[in-house]
């Protein structure tokens, strides 16, 4: 029973959503709508689960005095502060001027943005130390990258200002983006989509069960 | 208050940047703050917007004229089962909502990806390479040929049921070239993105905080 | 002006408006030059009632659950001639012969409206009001209409057919593979490099580093990476090379240990296996990268494998791997990370090649059959592209009707709506 | 011990400099420190010269250490922010296509703007959001805001606060709920779009402050996508533009333009060619494009000089690395 019911749920929900695409008639349209509503709610609980799990793990780290448990204390305190303030402030915690908004603007934003911003440094160092035109493929890739990087910013056209209009780097990069890039991306798109079709089909038909965990 | 805010933000920004020097305690504290704050933010956001705003008010509307939507309770029940994973003994029940999530995603994706990313893309690739009496501009003709041949060849590269030999192998070779140009474009754009994000932070440090730029 | 205009009255008014419209139209150069609206002009615009919309037509939305009616009309003549005179359109509806109520608005220039709040089985009558700043004009009423329910969306019949063929072949090939029939998969260049790279590490007496991405076991790319790990571990067990595999998820650790153990068993050397080969570092992205970098710099592996789902960590690892002079073999289906692997690694399995390699090595019916089924889909797409492009090009360039018919049919078949 | 001393001294110097600059700005010792032209040129020359030095070092077989590169990039990208060079942003065909689509939106139309991003992507997407909504507000186009990312509505509020403070827009006395509305965030990713296809209200029973859907005049008559005239999607990943195209556009007939982070823009081009997307803006240069097209320069245009420098530095680094590769490393590997 522990396996059959989940398999059944997966299959039925999947089939309903596929069928609703071809049969607009009641009850399939309503069932698709309900699925979307439930999905939205379950997804919210899933996020809660993730947050609670993090909370539990951090507490475990502190209690068992695992290495770096001090950082776990920071996590717990920050979680409690931001969650607590948000709950107290109520539904409109996002309102400009609220304490949550302050945390968002001056704590969350700088931290999350900088996390991603430091990637620029890594790209630079990797491009200097590891990106090599080691074969024809890589050479082609790097050349295309140069044209696009130069063509998308004003400096590209300034460098080749002597060229006639419509033949500048910006036009070349627009061309690369709109034609070869579109062709390659389209092939990738079709390939990935077919992959999704086959894996979804396997899941709906119960051939693929790994998401239910092994036991 | 504004001064404190700017210094807090700057302190945290520099803390993350300090990782570039090496992994250190300042970075780790900032990172832990980030993990805690963002988990709390998500927690609250999903509560007020969804669990309260949609589920609770949907079932118990404040406005008496509105019909309560009891069907949402099924979603709520599935959601609570999800949380049961935290209790190992009955944790297996969390497979039900998981099965629902996986099934719904599979059902929806199966159709939408097939319709939009296979059917529409193939349909759009079927275009005249040049118009009546070769009327199209050279730019368009070359572009059309590149898209038609490029898509075709790149798709052949991802075809696994035939050895890449002869003409088929040649087409696959063209395909890999097209893919490389594609990756090059994506490389260039990724670099652009990374630099933009860095600029955003430098703008904060030099503009909002220190005020040396306009 | 609450009653709908009768035919005769509206005709005289139309004439009236047309006359004014014409005169204003003729005077347009003067107005547009001065760029201002004289007050008398504004007065004229505001007090003269506008012309109503014409040709109002209500039609049932096809292939739906009987919950939508589409209205179309020709905009008021004032909307066309005197730009800006009409301020809005309002749509009124009577439900089962009841009172008319407003159900929606449209902006000037609009000529259609979809009423999506239709109840099944009710009959509806509509009219549209054209509004100006000071006047309004109602259109004639539509005939009463009941929205119909349809069972099948016939617009999507070809989509269903082609989808059915592809889905059918996936299932067919999985069954075929299950019955033990060998399915052919083409040579994959990166895969051949694997054995070579392991040989090199053996010669140099240095370890192999294996990273199966930074995602959990629910990601297909991680599974593909672990499958290839099975093959790598098998060869390693034969050669007696060391392997180091830091992971960022505890589930992946369990799976990887299991896989390597099985490979060592199959190679007949279970004693050589140890749990230390795989160790969990941390879930956190950059913490994981820092740890992997440390391992690379300390132990200087001769060969690095990066097979799985990667994010920004990809290039940091590839850079360190390059700087210690390791042979690097990568494979991922993350489009944004592929470029970095291609330029920093010696071999890269691009996108689906990762899955193909995994299917080829595992011989698992599920994976093999799916790959074959997808190939059927690609074959259909390729064939349609060739036939369609030739047909539409030839048909258009030299006006060959037969070719045009083929192209037209293909285009309609692949349309989804 | 000596090395350690230097490090402490350097840290103290940096902190002191920051404090001095901060205080100096507040007590108005200086307005800003924008470079005069000669200094800008000097800085450019210095950057070029030091790059050349790195090239020489690398050729000699002494490649720069990772941290040196980091420091270098930091300087090379931040100094151009102090330069006052006016540049012309090249307009791409897909950016022009988007703007042509925007021009066809009539006053009074209802536009759905979906904010599907978080602060890290704000440098790229926030200028687009501001430019697009400014264009709407100036032309009396009604804006309905939603977010598929929890941070989205908050980013929207930031943009709104900035726009509503601008004189031209504050003079219009825009009313919340009538001229614009922020429906907030809802969980469920692509299922939110799917559900909105049949009924907005069931997905967004209230706006982000809790005002019931029906009491918001702007959306009172909007039942689903058929009540939307145009839609603009600001997206930094999943869920985002792809999901909107797959469901909103292809299934429910939405007319849509998009602004994306550069990273994911390249993957959207097939949708632009097939007309599923009516134009796209990619990354910071896309933001600069829309600012140039709407003739209101903002952050996107401001960053273009520094962005150009960043790209140049990156390219030069790759070239230096490859020169060294062909002179040394390849031989070493062969041996």
Domain ranges within chain D, ordered by starting residue: 1-30, 32-85+303-334, 93-299
Task: Give percent helix, percent strand, percent coil of chain D, each to the nearest 5.
Answer: 60, 10, 30
What is the ipTM for the molecules in this complex?
A: 0.90
Nearest neighbour of A42 by CB, restricted to B8, B79, B106:
B79
| Token duo for residue A46 | 């899933």
For chain C, say whether A215 makes contact (Cβ under 8 Å). Answer: no
**Across D199-224, average pLDDT:** 90
pLDDT (tens digit, 9 = 90+) per residue, C201-241?
999 999 999 999 998 887 889 989 999 999 999 999 988 89
Contacts of D313 in chain A (CB under 8 A): 124
Q: What is the pLDDT of residue D331?
A: 66
For chain C, say whether B126 makes contact (Cβ under 8 Å). Answer: yes
Residue C330 φ/ψ, nearest 5 degrees = -125, 160
CATH for D93-299, options being 1.20.144, 3.90.550, 2.60.120, 3.40.50: 3.40.50
In chain C, where the domains are located: 7-146, 156-175+368-414, 183-363
**Chains touching chain C, criterion 3+ CB pairs below 8 Å:** A, B, D
Mutation target among A45, A113, A139, A152 for the D interface, most CBs of D within 10 A: A152
Q: Distance of alpha carbon B197 from its chain centroid, rounded?
A: 17
Tell me the pLDDT band of C47, cut-offs 50, 70 and 90. Answer: low
Q: Is the distance from CB of C73 to CB of C53 less than 8 angstroms?
A: yes
C366 to A207: CB separation less than 8 angstroms, yes or no: yes
A157 to D122: CB separation less than 8 angstroms, yes or no: no
What is the C-alpha separation between B109 and A204, in angstroms, rounded? 11
A181 to B181: CB separation less than 8 angstroms, yes or no: yes
What is the C-alpha separation between D85 and D74, in angstroms, rounded? 20
**Across B136-144, average pLDDT:** 84
Contacts of C117 in chain D (CB under 8 A): 223
Contacts of A101 in chain D (CB under 8 A): 154, 157
Q: Which residue of D has its CA nearest to A89?
A: D209
Angle at B139 between CA B136 and CA B142, to 5 degrees: 90
Task: Evaluate whether residue A56 is within a structural domain.
Answer: yes
How does DSSP assign A157-175, residue by residue?
A: HHHTTTSPTTSSHHHHHHH
Comparing CA positions, the residue from D221, D223, D230 lying closest to residue D253 is D230
CB-hemisphere CA count at 13 Å for C252? 33
Residue C31 φ/ψ, nearest 5 degrees = -65, -45
Q: Report the interhelical angle of C189-204 vs C220-239 (nearest 10°).
A: 40
What is the C-alpha separation between C339 and B192, in angstroms, rounded? 14
CATH number of C183-363: 3.40.50
Count of other CB atoms within 10 angstroms of residue C35: 6
For chain A, say whether C373 makes contact (Cβ under 8 Å). Answer: yes
In terms of Cβ atoms closer than 10 Å to its own Cβ (0-12, 13-18, 19+), residue C19 is exposed
Count of other CB atoms within 10 angstroms of residue D19: 12
What is the C-alpha separation between B124 and D250, in angstroms, rounded? 14
Q: What is the pLDDT of residue B86?
A: 87
Task: Evaluate whether residue A160 is within a structural domain.
Answer: no
Beta pairing, strands C278-280 & C303-307: unpaired
**Across A83-107, average pLDDT:** 93
C304 - beta bridge partners?
C209, C328
Whole-number Cα distances in Å, C349 to C147, C228, C273, D96: 54, 12, 28, 37
Q: Which residue of A has its CA nearest to C369?
A: A198
pLDDT (tens digit, 9 = 90+) per residue, C252-310?
999 999 999 999 999 999 999 998 999 998 877 888 988 999 999 999 999 999 999 99
For chain B, say whether D18 makes contact (Cβ under 8 Å). Answer: yes
Contacts of D263 in chain C (CB under 8 A): 336
pLDDT (tens digit, 9 = 90+) per residue, B157-202?
999 999 999 999 999 999 999 999 999 999 999 999 999 999 999 9
Kindly report the nearest CA distance between residue D93 and chain A, in angstroms.
7
Q: What is the pLDDT of residue C17?
A: 47
**Chains touching chain D, criterion 3+ CB pairs below 8 Å:** A, B, C
Q: Identify each DSSP E strand in D117-179 by its residue range.
A: 142-147
Contacts of C65 in chain A (CB under 8 A): 24-26, 29
Domain residues for the domain of A42 are: 1-66
Whether C22 has a pLDDT exceeding 70, the answer reads no
Kindly report the nearest CA distance between residue A139 and chain B, in angstroms.
9
Q: What is the pLDDT of residue B148?
A: 95
Close Cβ partners of C156 (under 8 Å, ≥ 6 residues apart): A21, A22, C416
Mutation target among B159, B160, B172, B195 for the C interface, most CBs of C within 10 A: B160
C 252-271: CB under 8 A from A: none
A125 to D191: CB separation less than 8 angstroms, yes or no: no
| Token duo for residue C267 | 């190679």
Tell me the pLDDT band of C3, cut-offs 50, 70 and 90. Answer: very low
Q: Is the distance from CB of C160 to CB of B119 less than 8 angstroms?
A: no
Q: Report the interhelical angle of A180-205 vs B166-203 (nearest 10°).
A: 100
pLDDT (tens digit, 9 = 90+) per residue, A3-27?
889 999 999 999 999 999 999 888 8
For chain B, say whether C220 makes contact (Cβ under 8 Å). Answer: no
D188 to A39: CB separation less than 8 angstroms, yes or no: yes
Close Cβ partners of C193 (under 8 Å, ≥ 6 residues apart): C329, C346, C347
Kindly report the nearest CA distance between residue C312 and chain B, in angstroms.
10
Helix (H, G, I), strand (E, B) or coil at C72: strand
Q: What is the pLDDT of residue A190?
A: 95
**Across B4-9, average pLDDT:** 95
pLDDT (tens digit, 9 = 90+) per residue, D271-314?
999 999 999 999 999 999 999 999 988 888 889 999 999 999 99
Contacts of C150 in chain A (CB under 8 A): 24-25
pLDDT (tens digit, 9 = 90+) per residue, C60-102?
888 888 888 999 998 888 776 555 678 888 999 998 888 998 8
At the top level of CATH, the class of C7-146 is mainly beta
Q: Distance of alpha carbon B137 from its chain centroid, rounded?
A: 37
Beta pairing, strands C112-115 & C69-74: antiparallel
Q: What domain count does chain A have?
A: 1
Nearest neighbour of C88 by CB, restricted to D108, D253, D263:
D108
Map tokens 């068993």 to a residue.
Answer: C265
**Across D237-259, average pLDDT:** 94
What is the C-alpha separation between A87 and D287, in angstroms, rounded? 36
Whether C49 has a pLDDT exceeding 70, the answer reads yes
Peptide bond into C369 cis (omega under 30): no
Q: What is the pLDDT of residue C26?
A: 42
Whether C32 has a pLDDT exceeding 60, the answer reads no
Q: Is the distance from CB of B50 to CB of D195 less than 8 angstroms?
A: no
B97 to A45: CB separation less than 8 angstroms, yes or no: yes
Whole-number Cα distances in Å, B69 to A28, A37, B56, D192, D196: 18, 11, 10, 17, 17
Close Cβ partners of A174 (under 8 Å, ≥ 6 residues apart): A151, D92, D93, D94
Comparing CA positions, the residue from C140, C144, C147, C146 lying closest to residue C56 is C140
Kindly report the nearest CA distance between residue B211 and chain C, in angstroms.
31
Kindly report the nearest CA distance between residue A28 and chain B, in angstroms.
13
Q: Is the distance from CB of D280 to CB of D258 less than 8 angstroms?
A: yes
Whether D317 has a pLDDT exceeding 80, the answer reads yes
Q: What is the pLDDT of residue A215?
A: 41
pLDDT (tens digit, 9 = 90+) per residue, A48-69?
998 998 899 899 999 999 888 9
Comparing CA positions, the residue from B50, B205, D159 lying closest to residue A96 is D159
Helix (H, G, I), strand (E, B) or coil at C314: helix
Close Cβ partners of A136 (under 8 Å, ≥ 6 residues apart): none
In terms of Cβ atoms closer than 10 Å to its own Cβ (0-12, 13-18, 19+), residue C155 is middle
Mutation target among D64, D226, D236 for the C interface, most CBs of C within 10 A: D226
Q: What is the pLDDT of residue C45?
A: 55
For chain C, say whether D194 makes contact (Cβ under 8 Å). Answer: no
Angle at B196 between CA B190 and CA B200, to 5 degrees: 150
B175 to A203: CB separation less than 8 angstroms, yes or no: no
Count of other CB atoms within 10 angstroms of residue C99: 8
Percent of chain C with pLDDT over 70: 87
C350 phi-psi bin (left φ>0, alpha ψ -120 to 50, beta other) = beta
Angle at A42 between CA A36 and CA A43, to 5 degrees: 85
For chain B, say whether A163 makes contact (Cβ under 8 Å). Answer: no
Close Cβ partners of B135 (under 8 Å, ≥ 6 residues apart): none
Whole-number Cα distances in Å, B172 to A186, B149, D179, D252: 15, 11, 54, 37
What is the C-alpha separation between C139 and B71, in angstroms, rounded? 42
A 34-93: CB under 8 A from D: 35-37, 39-41, 43-44, 47, 91-92
Task: Evaluate whether residue A140 is within a structural domain.
Answer: no
Whether D179 has a pLDDT exceeding 90, the answer reads yes
Kindly report the nearest CA distance between residue A153 and chain D, in angstroms.
6
Q: What is the pLDDT of residue A141?
A: 96
The helix or strand, by DSSP H or E, that contains position D50, with its residue range, turns out to be: helix D37-59
Q: What is the pLDDT of residue D263?
A: 92
A128 to D315: CB separation less than 8 angstroms, yes or no: no
A108 to B103: CB separation less than 8 angstroms, yes or no: no
Torsion on CA atoms D297, D303, D308, D312, rounded to nearest 10: 180
Mean residue pLDDT across chain C: 84
Tell me the pLDDT band of C43, cut-offs 50, 70 and 90. Answer: low
Nearest neighbour of D284 by CB, restricted to B45, B196, B207:
B196
C344 to A130: CB separation less than 8 angstroms, yes or no: yes
Q: What is the pLDDT of residue C21?
A: 46
DSSP summary character for residue D1: -
Contacts of A128 in chain B (CB under 8 A): none
Q: What is the pLDDT of residue A2?
A: 74
Close Cβ partners of C410 (under 8 Å, ≥ 6 residues apart): B123, B126, C384, C387, C388, C391, C392
Q: Is the distance from CB of D270 to CB of B119 less than 8 angstroms?
A: no
C336 to D263: CB separation less than 8 angstroms, yes or no: yes
Q: What is the pLDDT of residue C27?
A: 41
For chain B, say whether D199 makes contact (Cβ under 8 Å). Answer: no
Task: Evaluate whether residue A45 is within a structural domain.
Answer: yes
Kindly report the nearest CA distance between residue B148 and chain C, in angstroms.
8
pTM confidence score:
0.90
Residue A213 φ/ψ, nearest 5 degrees = 80, 150
Beta pairing, strands C123-131 & C136-138: antiparallel
What is the C-alpha separation between C210 and C173, in angstroms, rounded? 32
What is the C-alpha separation between B214 and B193, in angstroms, rounded? 23
Comparing CA positions, the residue from A109, C281, C200 lying closest to residue B5 is A109
Kindly report the nearest CA distance between residue A198 and chain C, in angstroms.
6
For chain D, say whether C336 makes contact (Cβ under 8 Å). Answer: yes
A44 phi-psi bin (left φ>0, alpha ψ -120 to 50, beta other) = alpha
Q: Distance of alpha carbon C113 from its chain centroid, rounded?
A: 28
Q: Is the distance from CB of B81 to CB of B96 less than 8 angstroms?
A: yes
Q: What is the pLDDT of residue C84?
A: 65
Whether C105 has a pLDDT exceeding 70, the answer reads yes
Q: What is the pLDDT of residue C15?
A: 45
């Amino acid at each position: 029973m522990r396996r059959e019911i989940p398999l059944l749920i997966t299959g039925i929900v999947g089939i309903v959503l596929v069928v609703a695409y071809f049969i607009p008639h009641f009850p399939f349209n309503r069932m698709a709508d309900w699925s979307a509503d439930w999905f939205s709610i379950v997804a919210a609980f899933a996020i809660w689960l993730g947050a609670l799990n993090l909370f539990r793990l951090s507490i475990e780290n502190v209690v068992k005095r695992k290495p770096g448990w001090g950082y776990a204390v920071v996590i717990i305190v920050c979680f409690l502060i931001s969650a607590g303030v948000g709950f107290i402030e109520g539904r409109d915690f996002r309102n400009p001027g609220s304490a949550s908004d302050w945390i968002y603007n001056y704590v969350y934003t700088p931290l999350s943005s900088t996390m991603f911003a430091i990637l620029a440094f890594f790209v630079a160092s990797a491009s200097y130390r590891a990106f090599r035109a080691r074969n024809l493929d890589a050479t082609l890739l790097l050349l295309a990258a140069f044209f696009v990087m130069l063509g998308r910013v004003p400096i590209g056209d300034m460098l080749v200002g002597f060229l006639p209009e419509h033949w500048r780097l910006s036009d070349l990069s627009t061309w690369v983006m709109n034609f070869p890039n579109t062709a390659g991306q389209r092939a990738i798109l079709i390939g990935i989509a077919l992959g999704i079709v086959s894996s979804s089909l396997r899941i709906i038909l119960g051939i693929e069960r790994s998401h239910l965990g092994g036991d | 208050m504004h001064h404190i805010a700017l210094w807090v933000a700057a302190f945290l920004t520099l803390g993350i940047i300090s990782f570039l020097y090496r992994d250190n305690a300042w970075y780790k504290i900032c990172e832990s703050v980030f993990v805690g704050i963002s988990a709390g933010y998500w927690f609250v956001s999903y509560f007020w917007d969804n669990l309260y705003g949609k589920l609770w008010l949907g079932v118990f509307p404040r406005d008496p004229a509105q019909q309560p939507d009891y069907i949402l309770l099924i979603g709520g029940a599935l959601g609570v089962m999800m949380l049961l994973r935290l209790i190992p003994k009955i944790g297996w029940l969390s497979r039900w909502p998981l099965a629902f999530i996986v099934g719904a995603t599979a059902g929806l994706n199966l159709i939408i990806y097939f319709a939009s990313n296979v059917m529409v893309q193939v349909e759009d690739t079927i275009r005249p390479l040049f118009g009546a009496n070769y009327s199209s501009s050279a730019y368009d003709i070359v572009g059309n040929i590149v898209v038609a041949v490029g898509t075709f060849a790149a798709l052949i590269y991802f075809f696994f049921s035939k050895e890449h030999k002869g003409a088929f192998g040649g087409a696959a070779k063209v395909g890999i070239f097209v893919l490389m140009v594609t990756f090059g474009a994506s490389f260039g754009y990724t670099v652009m993105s990374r630099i933009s994000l860095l600029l955003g932070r430098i703008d904060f440090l030099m503009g909002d905080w220190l005020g040396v730029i306009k | 002006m609450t009653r709908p205009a009768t035919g005769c009255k509206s005709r005289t008014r139309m004439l009236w408006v047309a006359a004014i419209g014409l005169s204003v139209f003729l005077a347009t150069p003067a107005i547009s030059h001065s760029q201002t609206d004289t007050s008398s002009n504004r007065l004229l615009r505001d007090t003269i009632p506008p012309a109503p919309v014409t040709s109002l037509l209500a039609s049932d939305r096809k292939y739906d659950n009987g919950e939508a009616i589409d209205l179309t009309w020709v905009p008021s003549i004032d909307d066309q001639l005197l730009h800006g005179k009409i301020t809005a359109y309002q749509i009124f509806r009577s439900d089962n012969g009841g009172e008319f109520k407003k159900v929606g608005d449209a902006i000037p220039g609009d000529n259609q409206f979809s009423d999506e709040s239709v109840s099944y089985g009710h009959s509806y009558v509509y009219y549209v009001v054209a509004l100006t700043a000071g006047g309004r004009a109602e259109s004639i009423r539509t005939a009463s209409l009941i929205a119909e329910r349809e069972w099948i969306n016939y617009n999507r019949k070809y989509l269903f057919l082609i989808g059915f063929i592809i889905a059918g072949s996936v299932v067919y090939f999985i069954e075929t593979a299950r019955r033990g029939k060998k399915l052919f998969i083409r040579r994959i260049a990166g895969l051949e490099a694997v054995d070579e790279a392991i040989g090199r590490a053996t010669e140099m007496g240095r370890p192999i580093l294996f990273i199966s991405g930074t995602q959990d076991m629910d990601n297909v790319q991680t599974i593909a990476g672990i499958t290839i790990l099975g093959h790598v571990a098998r060869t390693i067990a034969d050669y007696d090379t060391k392997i180091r595999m830091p992971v960022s998820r505890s589930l992946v650790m369990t799976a990887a240990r299991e896989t390597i153990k099985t490979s060592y068993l199959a190679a007949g050397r279970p004693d050589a296996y140890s749990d230390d080969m795989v160790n969990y570092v941390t879930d956190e992205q950059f913490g994981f990268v820092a740890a992997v970098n440390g391992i690379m710099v300390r132990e200087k592996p001769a060969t690095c494998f990066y097979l799985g789902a990667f994010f920004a960590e990809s290039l940091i690892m590839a850079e360190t791997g390059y700087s210690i002079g390791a042979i690097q073999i990568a494979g991922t289906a993350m489009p944004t990370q592929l470029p970095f692997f291609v330029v920093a690694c010696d071999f890269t399995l691009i996108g689906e090649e990762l899955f193909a390699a995994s299917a080829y090595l595992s011989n698992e019916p599920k994976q093999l059959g799916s790959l074959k089924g997808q190939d059927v889909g690609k074959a259909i797409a390729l064939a349609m592209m060739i036939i369609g492009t030739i047909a539409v090009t030839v048909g258009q360039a030299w006006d060959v009707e037969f070719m045009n018919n083929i192209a037209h049919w293909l285009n309609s078949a692949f349309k989804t709506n | 011990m000596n090395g350690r001393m230097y490090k402490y001294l350097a840290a103290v110097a940096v902190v002191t400099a920051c404090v001095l600059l901060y205080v100096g700005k507040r007590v108005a010792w200086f307005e800003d420190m924008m470079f005069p032209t000669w200094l800008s040129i000097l800085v450019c020359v210095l950057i070029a010269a030091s790059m050349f030095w790195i090239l020489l070092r690398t050729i000699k077989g002494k490649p720069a250490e990772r941290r040196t590169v980091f420091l270098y990039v930091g300087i090379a990208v931040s100094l151009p922010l102090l330069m006052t060079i006016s540049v012309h942003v090249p307009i791409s065909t897909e950016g022009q296509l988007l703007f042509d689509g925007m021009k066809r939106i009539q006053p009074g139309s209802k536009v759905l703007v979906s904010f599907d991003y978080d602060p890290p992507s704000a440098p790229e997407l926030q200028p687009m959001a501001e430019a697009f909504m400014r264009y709407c507000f100036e032309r009396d186009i009604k804006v309905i805001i939603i977010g598929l990312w929890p941070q989205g509505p908050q980013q929207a509020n930031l943009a709104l606060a900035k726009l509503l403070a601008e004189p031209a827009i504050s003079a219009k006395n825009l009313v919340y709920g009538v001229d614009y509305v922020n429906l907030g965030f809802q969980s469920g990713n692509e299922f939110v779009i799917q559900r909105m296809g049949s009924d907005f209200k069931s997905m967004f029973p209230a706006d982000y402050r809790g005002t019931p859907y029906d009491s918001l005049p702007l959306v009172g008559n909007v039942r689903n996508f058929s009540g939307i005239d145009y839609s603009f999607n600001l997206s930094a990943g999943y869920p985002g533009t792809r999901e909107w195209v797959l469901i909103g556009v292809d299934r429910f007939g939405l007319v849509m333009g998009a602004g994306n982070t550069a990273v994911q823009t390249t993957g959207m081009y097939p949708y632009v060619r097939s007309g599923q997307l009516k134009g796209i803006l990619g990354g910071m240069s896309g933001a600069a494009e829309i600012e140039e097209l709407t003739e209101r320069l903002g952050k996107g245009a401001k960053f273009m000089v520094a962005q150009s420098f960043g790209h140049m530095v990156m390219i030069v680094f790759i070239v230096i690395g490859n020169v060294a590769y062909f002179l040394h490393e390849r031989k070493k590997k062969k041996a």
